[in-house]
């Protein structure tokens, strides 16, 4: 047998944790000396300890852990619990990854403050464009709110166009407006250039208005990393006596499978300040 200290070392847990597991009934010592009160464990108990730690690290409550290791949970129920926990962890990992991308984009924007190149900004007019589009609402203009909305919109739009026998004739055009319900919500428009009659139905075909003046810049890379390019454009607009009159349009010039190779033109409508 092992003393509680030896067992803790072999199990890579703390003595305090073993005492807690004893108190809650998760893992009792194999023997308690009636005179001294010292706890003793056997090597065979490491198997139960390992299961307790693994299930706890998966996020199960101590009561759930006890039910599982005491075999009060059937095999099918356990598989369901594990699948659910796996899905929760995958969702958390994806969200953490997305937050990390945005932190890196903010960091690049901060690092480039004071020496942002603005020579690539061009003022031009944009003609009216016929597009097919789907629209949905996002909680805000923050990337973590826009991304989960616009991606599925484009997937559904291309499915609708294929079913209608319509082939896009130009690039995708994403544009944004303040949502009618207010509260900072954004109307997200996922559109693509088409040559088709105007219509309302499963999707809309409409003529996107022209822009008399647009300050434009080309962003290379995933739209998750667009912040430095967008802020370069904002610095140029402010420094050259213009003011913005709406959200920038995003023209998807090149969209290969690798999002890091995307090429997107930002078109910010402007007027003289």
- The string of pLDDT tens digits covering residues 123-167 is 999 999 999 999 999 999 887 889 899 999 999 999 999 999 999
% of the chain surpassing 70 pLDDT: 94
Nearest to 13 by CA among 76, 68, 57, 44: 57
Chain-centroid distance of CA 110 in Å reads 22
d(CA 65, CA 15): 19
Confidence bin at 112 (pLDDT 50/70/90): low
Closest among 125, 109, 147 to 209, alpha carbons compared: 125
Residue 21 phi/psi, 5° resolution?
-65, -35
Dihedral of alpha carbons 31, 33, 36, 40, sign: negative
pLDDT value of residue 203: 96
Q: Which phi and psi angles does 180 have, rounded to 5°?
A: -60, -30
pLDDT at position 193: 96
Arithmetic mean of pLDDT, 193-202: 93
Helical (H) or strand (E) element with 21: helix 15-24
Residue 4 makes CB contacts below 8 A (sequence gap 6+) with 15, 18, 19, 29, 38, 39, 40, 41
Distance from C-alpha of 18 to C-alpha of 147, rounded to nearest angstrom: 45
Contact 27, 18 (CB under 8 A): yes
């Amino acid at each position: 047998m092992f003393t509680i200290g030896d067992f803790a070392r072999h199990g890579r847990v703390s003595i305090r944790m073993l005492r807690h597991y004893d108190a809650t009934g998760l893992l009792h010592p194999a023997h308690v000396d009636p005179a001294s009160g010292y706890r003793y464990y056997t090597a065979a108990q490491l198997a139960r300890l390992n299961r307790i730690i693994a299930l706890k690290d998966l996020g199960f409550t101590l009561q759930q852990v006890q039910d599982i290791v005491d075999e009060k949970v059937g095999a099918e129920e356990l598989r369901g619990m594990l699948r659910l926990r796996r899905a929760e962890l995958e969702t958390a990992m994806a969200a953490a990854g997305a937050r990390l991308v945005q932190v890196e984009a903010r960091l690049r924007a901060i690092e480039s403050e004071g020496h942002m190149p603005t020579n690539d900004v061009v003022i031009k007019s944009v003609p009216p464009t016929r597009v097919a589009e789907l629209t949905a609402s996002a909680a805000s203009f923050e990337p973590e709110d826009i991304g989960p909305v616009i991606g599925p919109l484009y997937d559904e739009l291309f499915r609708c166009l294929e079913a209608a026998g319509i082939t896009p004739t130009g690039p995708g055009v994403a544009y944004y407006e303040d949502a009618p319900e207010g509260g900072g919500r954004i109307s997200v428009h996922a559109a693509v250039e088409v040559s088709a009659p105007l219509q309302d139905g499963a999707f809309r075909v409409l003529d996107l208005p022209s822009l008399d003046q647009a300050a434009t810049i080309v962003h290379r890379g995933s739209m998750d990393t667009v912040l430095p390019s967008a802020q370069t454009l904002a610095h140029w607009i402010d420094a050259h006596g213009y003011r913005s009159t709406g959200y920038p349009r995003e023209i998807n010039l090149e969209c290969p499978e690798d999002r890091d190779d995307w090429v997107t033109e930002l078109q910010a409508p402007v007027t003289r300040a």
